[in-house]
Amino acid sequence: MEYVGNDSIFREEIFKFATYALKYAESLIKFQSLNYANWEFVKLLWLKRFKALRGKWNGPVHDYYYAAMIKFLIGNYDSGVRILQKWNLRNGMRDEWMNKIYMTFCESNLTANQAKSIVVEMVNKRRKLFQSKPSYKKLEGEFLL
C-alpha cells in the first residue's frame, strides 16, 4: 500500500489490510487443535483430488506431508501411511527428504506411538532451530510454540 497523499483513503486501505490480517491470524490459531487441523487437511486433500481429476491442480504436494504428520500425531498411523503412499504414487521419490520420510514411516514396522514420537521429535528439532535464530532471540516476551 502506497501513500498518495490522501489520509482517508490510506486509513481505509490500512484498515482493510489489518482486518484481513486479524482474520487470517484467527484462522491460524484454530490449528492449535489437532482435531481441527486434521479436519482441515482432510478437506484440503479432497479438494486437491477433485481439482486434479478435473485437471486443474498442479500445486505443491507438501500438504500431503503435513496431513500425514497430523495423522501420526493424533495416533492414526494407518491413515498417515496411506497419505504418504498416495503422495509417493503421484510424485515418486524426486526429493531426498521425501524418500527419507517415506522410508521412516512406510517401510518401517512402527506402532502408532512410535510414529507419534518421531513426529514430536521432528517438531522439537524445528523449534530449537528457530529459537536459535538471532531474529527469534530479538523478539520480546514469551511465545508458545
Higher local confidence (pLDDT), 117 or 6 = 117
- The pLDDT, as a whole number, for residue 52 is 65
| Residue 6 pLDDT greater than 60, yes or no | yes
| Residue 100 pLDDT greater than 80, yes or no | yes
| Residue 135 pLDDT greater than 60, yes or no | yes
Q: What is the mean pLDDT of residues 56-79?
A: 79
Angle at Cα 40 formed by Cα 36 and Cα 44, nearest 5°? Answer: 170
| Residue 113 pLDDT greater than 60, yes or no | yes
Q: What is the mean pLDDT of residues 2-17?
A: 85
Residue among 82, 49, 56 nearest 67 (CA): 82
pLDDT in tens, 115-133: 999 999 998 998 888 888 8
% pLDDT > 70, the chain: 83
- The pLDDT, as a whole number, for residue 42 is 79
pLDDT grade, residue 2 (50/70/90)? confident
- The pLDDT, as a whole number, for residue 98 is 79
Residues 6+ apart with CB under 8 A from 37: 31, 70
* Residue with grid cell 500425531, as numbered in its chain: 73
Instruction: Write the DSSP assignment of 60-77 as a string of letters.
Output: -SHHHHHHHHHHHHTT-H
Residue among 66, 53, 58 nearest 98 (CA): 66
| Residue 59 pLDDT greater than 80, yes or no | no
